[in-house]
Every structure is written in structure tokens, then in C-alpha cells.
Chain A
């Protein structure tokens, strides 16, 4: 990448959501805001290459995007009914209202708006990843294991409902926050996961920008709702996972599995903070939700000085609790991975095989099967499962890891 592209990538990360939020507030339309923001970045690429990066890139983008949006509104205003034109005009004359409320951060305000309870949960998450996270539709589609066209339609429908039903772009009042927070947490978790195991074959295997943004926003949500157990749980989960980020990809760009990771390279500060949150939740005596259970599982993993010291019976017990809260096949798959450590690969394989129906297109299902089959000495079956996992894996570090494991299998298979 050239220097200009580097700067632009960084500015995109840092400014996309703020830019979209400012435009939505000014023009009251998500489509206008998103298109104008995207256009401004496209113009920036050309202009900055020719003229150099302006002294204040964020201000330059805001001005450029604002002009693009204004052009579009004027252009469409001519075809639109007079009433709407008058409405836009009065809005601009009186200046954009400056909403104040519980949510001060511009990005968080956009986040809560996209998580409006009148939208289906999946639409909230998709829309927020697009508008707040700045992810492409293709990236979001991969994160959800759906086709890009289907995801595009989902986002389009959500925007249409916001426009037609007039979902307001408004700072949630304190009383609205609890009902909005579930969707916001789901969004942050998906943003974090996309960063932690980036799905694009072209993108960096770990996108610290996304994990960092998800953590930053989770911290902000926690300042708003300090007594919400799931907010604390999700923040703890992210911190404990993020603490291992540096150990997860080898120098050669290959995924390092949990049991092989250098535990000394973990971020002790994040682990201490995460453990403190988990302890705080345990001390509360309240029944935990799924993020709190997931953070407790991660606390067990990070408690062990060595992978062999992991308290697997506690991990399985926590997964049992998680299955009761959230009986989805991915949870069952992760539980089976822990069962393999406790009861052996044969028992785990039977549980994994039962999940084929819902998970046949999920790379981790085949990667897990491949590993269990390898441990059971079923080399040919294992190879086939690795092949399938490699074909489905989007993450470059994961593909490299799976390919090496498969090829090792081939070498030993040929010699025996």
C-alpha cells in the first residue's frame, strides 16, 4: 500500500462511523449518509494522491461528504414532493439539532439508533456493522454465513423501514437503554469476532482495529449501564480474548491454536481487568447471561498456567450452562471440543457428527471433525474433513494452519 492508502485506511477506521453519524443527523437519511461518506472516501483517494493528504483529513472528509449529500438531496428534491423539500430546507435553516442525552459519543449514538427494537435483531446487527463498523456487505455476509445478495437485501430492507416507518435518529433516553442494549451487545460481539478472526482471505488475519473498536464501544456502554451484568460479561469476554491476540498468529502468518499459544506473551493488564470483571459478576450472585458464562469459560482458560492444567470439567460444566441459555449448534460444537479433552475424541466425535445438518457450511465444524478424526487415527476421513474446512475457511491464518495439519497427515499417512 502507498502512504496515502495507509492514511486513508486509518482515517476510514477512525472516522467512518463519526462521519456517517454526522451526516445522518444533518440529512436524516441513512442512504444519503452512507453514500455520501463512501463518495467522500473515493474522492479522497484521487485528490490526496494528486495533492497530498490535507492537514485535517477528518474535516476535509466531513466537508466533502456534506457537499455530496447536499448535491444529492437537491437533485432528488426536485423530483420529490414540495413538502419534503420544505422540510429539508427548514431543517437546514434552523441548523442541525444537537441532541444531548445519555449517549454522548457520536458513534455510540449511531450504534443505539441502528439497534432500534422495531428492527429484527439480525437486521440491527447487519445495519450496525455497515453503518457503524464500516464493514462491507461482503464482510458482513461472511460473518453471518449468508450470501452477499441476501445480506444486501437485509440491510436495504432495514434502511427502508427506518425511512418509511420513520424510526427517529435520536439519542436514547436513559429509560430506553436497557431495551436497546441486547442488540448493541450482539453487534459489538460480532464486530469483535470479525476482528479477531477476520473472514476475508485478502484481509489481515487479525484486525486489531475492529477488536479495539468493539472494546472501546463496550467500555462506553459500560459507563452508561455499569450494573448490567451482560455488559460487564461481554467486556470481560473481549478483554480476555484480546489478551491472547498477539499469541494467536505465528510469525509466518499461521493460526496458533489455544494449546500451542505462548502464555507468557499474553497481555497481563487485559487479563487482570477481565478477571476482575468476571469476579465482580460472580460476587453479584445474579444468574449470568451468555456473555457472562462465555467470559467465565475464558477466565478458566486464562487461569491455567499451561494448557495441560486447564480445568476441563469446569469448562464443560460452563458449556452445559451456556447450552441452557443459548442452545445453538455453534455452542454445542464448542462444548464438544471441551468434551474431547475430558472424555476423549471418540465421545466428542459422536456429538460433533450430530451437528452436521445446521453446520455443514461452517469451516469450524469440519476443522473440529478433522482434528478429532486425526486423533482417532482415521487419516483418510481426517484429510477429507481438512479439505472441506480449508475450502470454507475465509481467514488466511486459519487456512495456513489447516493446510499444514492436513499435509502433515498426508506425510505420516504415506509412511505408515
Chain B
């Protein structure tokens, strides 16, 4: 089972860098435990571009897909047996990156 651990950024409450290395340590642990699939941090939502080619005439627009004070700041994709395991990881992930974490199961992974 794969879970997406989404890091929820917040423009009103910027990142807390008081625990440098915490995310690296958490990543190392995921790799040691065989849970690591993929992870990454994202740049500011202002750097986003939205592509809309649904009409066959691609339109590129500057900025994130939704105007919100909360945004996607990064993510982990992990393997876990069930939601309890994934939630336990999200508890440590939230502490490591000092952010809220959304946990969502994958419907499938290609």
C-alpha cells in the first residue's frame, strides 16, 4: 500500500527552520525501514505554472491552480501496511518538517 504524505505549507505561518537536519534524518529512517518510495520539497507556489490543454489550444497561466493561504509545499510517497502505520509516519514527518501533513492513500501506482 502506498500513501502520499503531503506537506501543507501556509503563507501566514512560514517554515520553522529550528531543527536543521530533521527532514534528512526522517528520510534516512524511511530508507532504512524500506518505506521510502519518493519524496521532494517544492519551491514557492508563486513559481507554479498551470497548463490547460483541454481545448486543444494550450493556455499557460502563471501561479498555482488554486488561490489559498495553504499550498502544497512538498511530499513523501511511502509504503505502509495500513493507515495506522502511515499515520504514525505522518506524526514524525510533521515534527521533522514542522508542517501539517495530509495523508492520502494511492489508488494505484504505475
Contact = CB atoms under 8 A, between A and B. Distances in A.
Interface residues of B, number: 10
A168 interface: yes
Interface string A401-413: 0000000000000
A170 B83 contact: no
Contacts of B105: 164-166
Contacts of B82: 166-168, 170
A118 B81 CA distance: 16
Interface string A145-176: 00000000000000000001111101000000
Contacts of B1: 166
A165 B84 contact: no
Most A CB within 10 A of own CB, among B1, B83, B103, B105: B83
Contacts, number: 23
Nearest to A162: B83
A258 B82 CA distance: 49
Most B CB within 10 A of own CB, among A116, A164, A166: A166
A165 B81 CA distance: 10
A2 to B, nearest CB: 45
A61 to B, nearest CB: 29
Most A CB within 10 A of own CB, among B84, B104, B105, B107: B84
Interface string A72-111: 0000000000000000000000000000000000000000
B2 to A, nearest CB: 11
A172 to B, nearest CB: 9
Contacts of B107: 164
B80 to A, nearest CB: 8
A333 B1 CA distance: 49
Contacts of B103: 165
Contacts of A166: 1, 81-83, 105
A164 B84 CA distance: 13
Interface in B34-84: 81-84
Contacts of B87: 118
A116 B84 CA distance: 10
A168 B83 CA distance: 7
A166 B107 CA distance: 11
A167 B107 CA distance: 15
Contacts of A165: 83, 103-105
A164 B83 CA distance: 9
A120 B102 CA distance: 15
Nearest to A161: B83
A164 B81 CA distance: 12
A166 B105 CA distance: 8
A165 B83 CA distance: 6
Nearest to A170: B84
6 contacts: A164-B105, A165-B105, A167-B83, A167-B84, A168-B84, A170-B82
Interface of A: 116, 118, 164-168, 170
Interface of B: 1, 81-84, 87, 103-105, 107
Which 6 residue pairs across A and B have the least CB separation, nearest first? A168-B82, A166-B82, A165-B83, A167-B83, A165-B105, A166-B83
